[in-house]
Amino acid sequence: MRLRLVSAIAALTLTGGALLASSAFVSAEPFDEPYVDRLHHECDRGERKACVRFGIILGEHHDRHEEWRHRHPEWWWWE
């Protein structure tokens, strides 16, 4: 009986840790324009991780798209 209780507690602890880790991954990327601009330049130089992060930030901040299109047209090269 005690072994089952310990196993159940361990399973809950591992599940809770996995949930916390996954929620941390889903959270928004840090945002400030110099950071986003740096990601854009790194992406232009072929840094794949920078391209992914840059795309995530653009996707998460739909409310800023119009402003960014005017301030940083180079960020929207595919349009």
Tell me the pTM: 0.58
3-class DSSP state of 55: helix
Query: What residue segments make up the domains of the chain, in order of their start?
Result: 2-76
The mean pLDDT of 15-24, rounded to a whole number, is 47
Question: In the prediction, which pLDDT does 23 show?
Answer: 45
Is the pLDDT assigned to residue 36 strictly greater than 60? yes
CA pseudo-torsion sign 6, 8, 14, 20: negative
pLDDT digits (tens, 9 = 90+) for 46-61: 999 999 999 999 999 9
Using alpha carbons, list the distances in angstroms from residue 4 to 9, 10, 12, 14: 9, 10, 12, 15
Q: Of the given ranges (23-32, 51-60, 64-73), which has the lowest mean pLDDT?
A: 23-32
Rg (C-alpha) for the chain, rounded Å, is 20
Res. 20 pLDDT band, cuts 50 70 90: very low
CA distance 28 to 34: 16
Contact by Cβ (8 Å): 56, 49 = no
